[in-house]
Copies of this chain bind each other. A is one copy, B any other.
C-alpha cells in the first residue's frame, strides 16, 4: 500500500504512470480496451454519422427479423428502457418498423424497413474495414485468440444458455 518515488514532496509531474495492480484487473483492462476500441471506431467511421449501438441494431435486425424489443435489449446487454428510446429514434428516422403481434399484445416485434436495409448496406462496408484496422498492433493470431477468449468469457462459444 505504498508509493512510487518515496521522495518528500517530490511527486513526478511527467507522464510516467505506475498502474500497479490495475494492469492485473480484467475489468480495468476491458474498460480501457473498450474505450480505445470506440475511439478507433469514431475516428474511422467519422462522416458516416453512425454509432456503435445503431450498427449493432441494424445488423441484428437484418439477421433476426421480427425479434422482440426486449430480446434485442438482452442480446446487446442494455436495459429495455434505453432500447425503447433507441428504437423510437430509429423508427422516427424510418429505419425500423414496429408491430404488435396478436399472440402477445404487450410485446413489440422489430423489422428493418427498406431504408434500414439501405442504411446497413451503406454502413457495413466501412464498419468491416474498420474492424480490420482495430487490431492495433496485435498479430492476426493474437487477434483471433483474443476474440476466442472474449467469446468464451461471454459464454458465446456454447451456442445457447
- The residues of A with any CB-CB pair to B shorter than 8 Å are 1-4, 9-13, 15-41, 52, 56, 59-60, 62-68, 71, 75-77, 101, 103-104, 107, 109, 111, 117, 120-121, 124, 128, 131, 134-138, 142-143, 145-147, 149-156, 160-161
Would you give the shortest CB distance from A73 to chain B, in whole angstroms? 11
Q: When the two chains form the complex, which single residue of B19, B121, B137 contacts A1, counting CB atoms closer than 8 Å?
A: B121
Given A26-B131, A34-B30, A37-B27, the answer on whether A59 and B3 have CB atoms closer than 8 Å is: no
| Other contacts beyond A9-B66, A36-B154, A39-B77: 5, CB < 8 A | A15-B161, A19-B60, A22-B60, A26-B37, A27-B38
Per assembly, the copies of the chain total: 2
Taking a contact as CB atoms under 8 Å apart, the answer to whether A152 and B131 are in contact is no
Would you give the shortest CB distance from A159 to chain B, in whole angstroms? 9
Given A34-B34, A38-B27, A77-B32, the answer on whether A17 and B150 have CB atoms closer than 8 Å is: no
* The 6 A-B residue pairs with the shortest CB-CB distance in the complex, in nearest-first order: A11-B66, A29-B150, A20-B63, A146-B149, A27-B37, A30-B34
Q: How far is A8 from B60 in the complex, measured between Cα atoms in Å?
A: 18
Q: How far is A22 from B56 in the complex, measured between Cα atoms in Å?
A: 7
Look across to chain B and name the residue whose beta carbon is closest to the beta carbon of A29: B150
Taking a contact as CB atoms under 8 Å apart, the answer to whether A26 and B135 are in contact is yes
